[in-house]
A and B are shown apart, each in its own frame.
Chain A
Amino acid sequence: MTDKTVFKRFAIGIIAIWLVLFALVPNLMVIIASFMTQGESEFIVWTPSISSYQRMLDPLYLQVFWNSFYLSAFTTVLCLLIGYPFAYLIARAGPKARPILLLLVIVPFWTSSLVRTYAMIIILNANGLLNSTLLGLGLINEPLQILYTDTAVIAGLVYTLLPFMVLPLYAAIEKLDWRLVEAARDLGARKVRTFVSVIIPLTMPGIVAGSMLVFLPGLGMFYIADFLGGSKTTLIGNLIQRQFLSARDWPFGSAASVTLTVTMGVMIWIYLLSAKRANAKVEV
């Protein structure tokens, strides 16, 4: 064996073993567990069944899925509406201001989302900053009950996930070939038309990537619904968490996770298809 093969085998081997053991095997185990049944003393009994998937068709759980998707989708749209002009302005800022503005987005991106959710509680509290400001301005007569509602959950999700939308949008807008935009203008397209027909399609990969980075974590962040939502707000994340920690129904929790992952897989697949199509268009 030459020294090249020794080093090569070592470098490949170490990451291959790690990823197979801690990524491939555990994910396969979730799939297997989702087809097993709940035990009395053990968490999982090795009797194959599809009962966990059947249980998910229960209106109660369908409601949880629907509610989660709705809140996450609403959050994604809000993040896109706030984040697109924001990312655009940062990408078009002068060369001196741009790195500073970008850094100001990166810091919240890396800040603990738990700390940021907690900060949101302080703002939305009955006697928190928002209510005292509105009361002080005389806009309302009594404190608004925002905390423990779906509105608070959406506010918390948007607050926590906005940087995850802005960064991929920024990357896409910054890479944009402005000659194409100028060409559209020269050919007489108005501003709105240029934006809709040229800028949006060219930055589509960033829009889709950002939307996925907001939508997918939004489904799983159980502590945001825990802290900001009312007792009725149950997201898929809360459902899975309860199956594993209090209800002790691991097969059902696994089935919910598999459903979540499959949804995610389908979305990524659509994304890759659309990215391919977008690239093909640009090359033409």
Chain B
Amino acid sequence: MKGLGRSSYLALVFGFLYLPIAVLIIYSFNDAKYSLEWKGFTWNWYQTLWQNDDLIEVALHSLTIALLSATLATIVGTLGAVALYRYQFSGKKLLNGLIFILIMSPEIVMGISLLLLFVTLGMDLGFSTLLLSHTTFSIPFVVVTVLSRMSGFDKFLIEAAKDLGATEFQTFIKVILPLLMPAVVAGWLLSFTLSMDDVIISFFVTGPDYEVLPLKVYSMVRLGVKPEINALSTVMFALTLVLVLLAQFFLKEKK
């Protein structure tokens, strides 16, 4: 009886978490424009998406930004995590503090602060401002993921490499980086997901010339509920699911 109560509580909360998404996915295959009754299976809404050139272009924008910003954030974040873990230097506290601020500050504050920076520098809002912003909010996630892996590994390996005459750079490339690889890959995947899903920061730092997918969804939803949005949301959910499963796979490997 006790076990049953526990399982049903778990099931209830998981139901709350997954039911709305499940309903969304089911409706994306429903052959009815306005009705919520089941009128039969259709691929129609996915075809509508696929034929919408405007939407495809926006999706490509999002993928480009996600690929580039995740890669940049992974390079900067991994080097940063190694530096923070291995070296003592003045200003280390400030760097740790800035990473903490980036993680904790509300997205909307980060969005407007970057907007102020870009406007002051006279930059056109669009591709480059999006790329810089997305890289910035992804860096702390890479740093944290890589640092947590690094605190678990054997310091003697690094000393052994040095004793055998490896330079600092060789030690990084041949010893540290391979050991960190699962965390680096997971950090990249999570950064990619963050970038694909971000609404609030992109809202402030992009212009009309370079729209991204979440903002497109935002403006579509403002105009009302449509089956195409169900289909598009389903595609976005599926993409997140794949990326998160991959990231979990790489993070688990250490055990």
Contact = CB atoms under 8 A, between A and B. Distances in A.
User: Which applies to chain B's interface (DSSP): helix, strand, loop or mixed?
Assistant: helix
Given A14-B79, A244-B115, A244-B204, A104 B109 contact: no
A23 B136 CA distance: 8
Given A114-B199, A118-B229, A261-B106, A26 B9 contact: no
B157 interface: no
Interface in A92-111: 99, 101, 103-108, 110-111
Interface in A58-112: 82, 85-86, 89-90, 99, 101, 103-108, 110-112
Interface of B: 6, 9-10, 13-14, 16-21, 23-24, 27, 36, 76-77, 79-80, 82-84, 87, 89, 91, 95, 98-99, 101-102, 104-110, 112-117, 119-120, 132-133, 135-136, 139, 143, 167-169, 172, 190, 193, 196-197, 199-200, 203-204, 214, 217-218, 221-222, 225, 229-230, 233, 236-237, 240-241, 243-245, 248, 252
B248 A103 contact: yes
B120 A268 contact: no
7 residue pairs, one from A and one from B, having the closest CB atoms: A15-B80, A26-B113, A119-B20, A112-B197, A11-B83, A220-B108, A220-B106
B82 A129 contact: no
Given A16-B91, A260-B106, A162 B17 contact: yes
A14 B24 contact: no
A240 B106 CA distance: 12
Contact of B9 (A27, A86, A221): A86
Contacts of A163: 17
B244 A226 contact: no
A15 B106 contact: no
Given A23-B136, A241-B203, A261-B105, A15 B240 contact: no
Contacts of B110: 26
Contacts of B168: 3-4, 6-8
Contacts of A15: 76-77, 79-80, 83-84, 95, 139, 143
A118 B233 contact: yes
Contact of B233 (A14, A115, A244): A115
A89 B87 contact: no
B202 to A, nearest CB: 11
A222 to B, nearest CB: 7
Given A86-B10, A108-B18, A220-B200, A3 B112 contact: no
B240 A264 contact: no
Interface string A6-40: 11101110111011101111110110010000000
Contacts of B79: 10-11, 14-15
A27 B113 contact: yes
9 contacts: A11-B80, A23-B136, A103-B245, A103-B248, A111-B240, A115-B24, A118-B233, A128-B36, A222-B200
Contacts of B214: 112, 114
A257 interface: yes
Contact of A222 (B80, B98, B108): B108
Contact of B13 (A86, A132, A237): A86
Given A19-B102, A162-B16, A250-B116, 8 more contacts: A6-B168, A86-B10, A110-B190, A112-B214, A114-B218, A115-B197, A122-B24, A223-B199
A113 B221 CA distance: 13
**Considering residues A3, A110, A220, A241, which has the most beta carbons from chain B within 10 angstroms of its beta carbon?**
A110
B112 to A, nearest CB: 6
Contacts of A121: 221, 225
Contact of B101 (A23, A85, A123): A23
A190 B83 CA distance: 50
A10 B241 CA distance: 36
A240 B109 CA distance: 9
B116 A30 contact: yes
A122 B89 contact: no
A210 interface: no
A229 interface: no
Nearest to A258: B109
B115 to A, nearest CB: 7
Given A162-B17, A241-B203, A264 B115 contact: no
A12 B10 contact: no
Contact of A19 (B18, B87, B95, B115): B95
A145 B87 CA distance: 59
A48 interface: no
A52 interface: no
